[in-house]
């Protein structure tokens, strides 16, 4: 550490004008419960400070304090990182909590909204509705914050219609490692803008978004087909039929769906953005088969539909509240769907494997649509070919046993062993997996080299850091340590890339 802790604390206090409600340090009573609030309780963590700035100028001052003290920085919006990366991922970071950044306005000519980066998705939906019945694509958990969600991807039921949350972004305000405040768009600071749309946590603290909005959908049908009783193996046929629906390249973008597999059975659910008559014409019950319990609800109220999404079964098990959990994820595309025999193996695995917990589930979600219309290199988000995302979870009351971890990992292994090429499809950065040996490569794929070179210009000291963040070109990570080693040749490469990219940032 470059300065003593007491000097650091004094600097933080000065950065927020001495307001005691805008900072907290480890010595504060109930620091973990009231201020740290880790989302994944299996990953203990103690930040050097939690700060609650009210202005962009205060954000800039806090970043300077961290740089002077040789500490890393991460922003927190909703605080739902699976690896607690919004807290730094490891102890000792400075956290910039954005809860006070709640600004909102709607330009009724362009229908672009200005949104504070601390806004939670539930609040955002209400504010857009009240400002002219507008909406944008995002996930279903109302407690998630837009600041992280829209800078890593941001997927939800309406993404097949409108794209990911980050595809709505037209401009951002961001504070960089040198404490400068920049406006970024395709015209201003386009390289930073490109990087923020997929890897924002590695490049600065976004304090404000300008986003395009869409008219709220009219009628929508929410549906579920629940299969219980018998073995998991007996339900494999329904999953095969569901996947065959998704394989149709002509599948309407109005159709959003997922499969949840848990101890209780299998649930195929989703939303059809259209009329009851259009939905009925899909004839899902016949196509899926079996004897499910069927439920359909017709919504004409957008906020009512959003409220229904928030009651999702998986969210009730592991949604907005902190928990002890372990998760894995996998990506599939149209060319790498799961063969029938592998589906049989997977569902037999659900029957036979030791789980170590009763609270486990796997979710297969349909992606694609408008998200995949955009070129792979148009933003740093690198999953424009994904068709299905898998999320697997094991949850414990006081911790997660090795048995449960092995079970969850085994879901991925069972699929990957039978799906050639699955490893090359990368992993969605919103479902971080701290155990990945090559996380950045998995999250950003072919876009990683460009990200590293931009990072070398705007954050050469790697101030905005977590265990799987983008590192500057020329830096070498030392596993398990925060130090970086740099060779002479790497320095030369960085200087060359710095000159090149700096020209594009001017």
List, as one string, the DSSP characters of 384-415: TT--EEEEEEEEESS---HHHHHHHHHHHHHH
Residues 234 and 379 in one domain: yes
Q: Residue 104, SS3?
A: strand
| Residue located via tokens 């090359």 | 424
Domain limits for position 234: 220-299+323-435
**Is residue 307 a part of any domain in this protein?**
no
Indicate whether 159 and 242 sit together in one domain: no
Q: Are residues 277 and 334 in the same domain?
A: yes
Using alpha carbons, select from 343, 14, 453 the residue that is nearest to residue 6: 14
Cα torsion angle, 80, 84, 85, 91, sign: positive
Q: Which residues pair with 301 in a beta bridge?
A: none
CA distances from 359 to 264, 392, 393, 434 (A): 10, 11, 8, 21
* CA-based nearest residue to 74, from 101, 107, 57, 51: 51
Following DSSP, what letter does each residue of 215-256 receive, concatenated? EPPS-EEEEEEEE-SS-SGGGHHHHHHHHHHHT-TT--TTEE
Calpha distance 168→174 (Å, rounded): 17
Q: For tokens 């340090």, what's the residue? A: 25
Tokens representing 423 are: 């490893």
- To which residue do tokens 């600004």 refer? 103
Per-residue DSSP letter, 40: B
CB 170 within 8 A of CB 249: no
Q: What is the pLDDT averaged over residues 439-467?
A: 98
Number of Cβ atoms within 10 Å of the Cβ of 249: 7
Q: Is residue 93 part of a domain?
A: yes
Q: Are 150 and 166 in contact (CB under 8 A)?
A: yes
| CA distance linking residue 336 with residue 294, whole number of Å | 30
| Residue 361 and residue 501 in one domain | no
Q: Is 196 within a domain? A: yes
CATH number assigned to the domain comprising residue 80: 3.30.43.10
The answer on 200 and 182 residing in a single domain is yes
From CA 147, how far away is CA 118, in angstroms rounded? 6
Does residue 304 form part of some domain? no
Q: What is the C-alpha to C-alpha distance for residues 118 and 115, in angstroms, rounded to an integer?
A: 8
What whole-number distance in Å separates Cα of residue 254 and Cα of residue 224?
16
Residue 224, judged by CB atoms within 10 A of its CB (0-12, 13-18, 19+), counts as middle
**C-alpha radius of gyration, the chain, whole number:** 23
Q: How far apart are CA 119 and CA 437, in angstroms?
A: 33
Start-to-end CA distance of the chain, whole Å, equals: 33
Instruction: State whether 398 and 480 are in the same domain.
Output: no
CATH classification at residue 172: 3.30.465.10
Average pLDDT of the segment spanning 271-286: 97
What is the pLDDT averaged over residues 158-182?
A: 98
**Within 10 A of 123 (CB to CB), how many other CB atoms are there?**
18
210-219, 256-265, 339-348, 470-479: least confidently modelled range: 470-479
Dist CA 399 CA 419 (whole Å): 32
Residue at a domain's end among 72, 97, 122: 97
Q: Confirm whether 310 is domain-assigned.
A: no
> What does the pLDDT look like over 46-74, one tens digit per residue?
999 999 999 999 999 999 999 999 999 99
Whether 306 is in a domain gets the answer no
The residues with which 366 forms a beta bridge, in sequence order, are 388
In a domain, 305, yes or no: no
Does residue 266 share a domain with residue 226?
yes
pLDDT score of 176 more than 60: yes
The C-alpha atoms of residue 271 and residue 284 are separated, in whole angstroms, by 12
- What DSSP string describes 285-336? HHHH-S--EEEEEEE--HHHHHHHHTT-HHHHHHSSS-BEEEEEEEEE-TTS
Which pLDDT does position 6 carry in this prediction?
86
Angle at 393 between CA 342 and CA 50, to 5 degrees: 145
* Percentage with pLDDT > 90 across the chain: 88
Decide: 356 and 395 in contact? Cβ < 8 Å: no
Mean pLDDT over 471-498 rounds to 47
Per-residue pLDDT at 372 exceeds 60? yes
Overall average pLDDT of the 162-166 stretch: 98
pLDDT in tens, 102-138: 999 999 999 999 999 999 999 999 999 999 999 999 9
| DSSP strand pairing (169-175 vs 205-212) | antiparallel
State the Cα–Cα distance between residues 402 and 133, nearest whole angstrom.
Answer: 48
pLDDT score for 317: 55
Write down which residue in 97, 122, 147 finishes a domain: 97
Pairing between strand 112-116 and 205-212? Answer: antiparallel
- Where is the domain boundary, 97, 117, 146? 97
**Partners of 220 in the β-ladder:** 299
Residues 333, 426 share a domain: yes
| Same domain, residue pair 346 and 226 | yes
Please list, residue by residue across 339-371, b when 16 or more beta carbons sit within 10 angstroms of its beta carbon and e when fewer do: eeebbbbbbebbeebebbbebbbbbbbbbbbbb
Domain total of the chain? 4
pLDDT beyond 60 at 384: yes
| Calpha distance 154→15 (Å, rounded) | 32
Q: The whole model's pTM is what?
A: 0.92
Do 483 and 371 share a structural domain? no
What CATH number did the domain enclosing 338 receive? 3.40.462.20
pLDDT > 70? residue 500: no
- 14 and 57 fall within a common domain: yes
Q: Please report which confidence band the pLDDT of residue 421 belongs to, taking 50, 70 and 90 as the band edges.
A: confident
* Residue 321 confidence (pLDDT) above 90: no
Residues 112 and 187 grouped into a single domain: yes
DSSP 34: I
CA neighbor of 259 nearest in space, from 374, 338, 148: 338
CA-based nearest residue to 470, from 238, 54, 151:
151
Kindly state whether residue 313 falls inside one of the protein's structural domains.
Answer: no
Q: What percent of the chain has pLDDT over 70?
A: 91
Q: Evaluate if residue 495 carries a pLDDT over 80.
A: no
């Amino acid at each position: 550490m470059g300065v003593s802790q007491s000097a650091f604390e004094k600097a933080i206090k000065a950065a927020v004008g001495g307001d005691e409600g805008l900072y907290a340090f480890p010595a504060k009573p109930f620091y973990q419960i009231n201020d740290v609030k880790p989302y994944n309780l299996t990953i203990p963590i103690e930040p050097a400070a939690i700060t609650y700035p009210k202005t962009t100028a205060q954000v800039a001052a806090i970043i300077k304090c961290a740089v002077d003290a040789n500490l890393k920085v991460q922003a927190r919006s909703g605080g739902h990182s699976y690896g607690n990366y919004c807290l730094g991922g490891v102890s000792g970071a400075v956290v910039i909590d954005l809860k006070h950044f709640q600004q909102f306005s709607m330009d009724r000519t362009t229908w672009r909204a200005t949104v504070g980066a601390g806004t939670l998705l539930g609040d955002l939906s209400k504010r857009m509705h009240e400002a002219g019945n507008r909406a944008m694509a995002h996930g279903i958990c109302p407690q998630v914050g837009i600041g992280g969600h829209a800078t890593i991807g941001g997927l939800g039921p309406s993404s097949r219609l409108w794209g990911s949350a980050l595809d709505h972004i037209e401009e951002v305000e961001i504070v960089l490692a040198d404490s400068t405040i920049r406006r970024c768009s395709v015209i201003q600071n386009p390289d930073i803008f490109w990087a923020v749309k997929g890897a924002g946590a590695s490049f600065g603290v976004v304090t404000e978004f300008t986003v395009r909005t869409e008219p709220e959908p009219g009628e929508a049908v929410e549906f579920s087909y629940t299969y219980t009783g018998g073995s998991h193996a007996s339900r494999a046929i329904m999953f095969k039929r569901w996947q065959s629906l998704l394989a149709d390249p002509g599948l309407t973008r109005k159709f959003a769906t997922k499969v949840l597999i848990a101890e209780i059975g299998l649930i195929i659910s989703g939303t059809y953005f259209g009329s009851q008559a259009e939905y009925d014409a899909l004839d899902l019950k016949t196509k899926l088969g079996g004897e499910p319990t069927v439920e359909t609800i017709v919504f004409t109220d957008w906020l009512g539909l959003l409220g229904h999404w928030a009651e999702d079964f998986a969210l009730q098990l592991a949604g907005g509240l902190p928990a002890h959990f372990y998760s894995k994820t996998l990506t599939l595309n149209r060319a790498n769907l799961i063969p029938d025999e592998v589906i049989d193996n997977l569902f037999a695995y659900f029957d036979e494997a030791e789980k170590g917990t009763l609270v486990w589930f796997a979710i297969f979600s349909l992606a694609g649509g408008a998200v995949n219309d955009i070129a792979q290199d148009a933003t740093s988000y690198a999953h424009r070919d994904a068709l299905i995302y898998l999320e697997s979870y094991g949850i414990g009351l006081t911790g997660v046993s090795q048995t449960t971890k092995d079970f969850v990992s085994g879901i991925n292994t069972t699929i990957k062993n039978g799906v050639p090429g699955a490893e090359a499809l990368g992993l969605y950065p919103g479902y971080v997996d701290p155990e990945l040996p090559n996380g950045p490569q998995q999250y950003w794929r072919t876009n990683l080299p460009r990200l590293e070179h931009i990072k070398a210009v705007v954050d050469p000291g790697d101030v905005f850091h977590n265990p799987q963040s983008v590192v500057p070109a020329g830096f070498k990570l030392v596993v398990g340590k925060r130090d970086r080693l740099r060779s002479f040749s790497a320095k030369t490469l960085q200087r060359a890339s710095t000159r090149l990219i700096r020209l594009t940032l001017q």
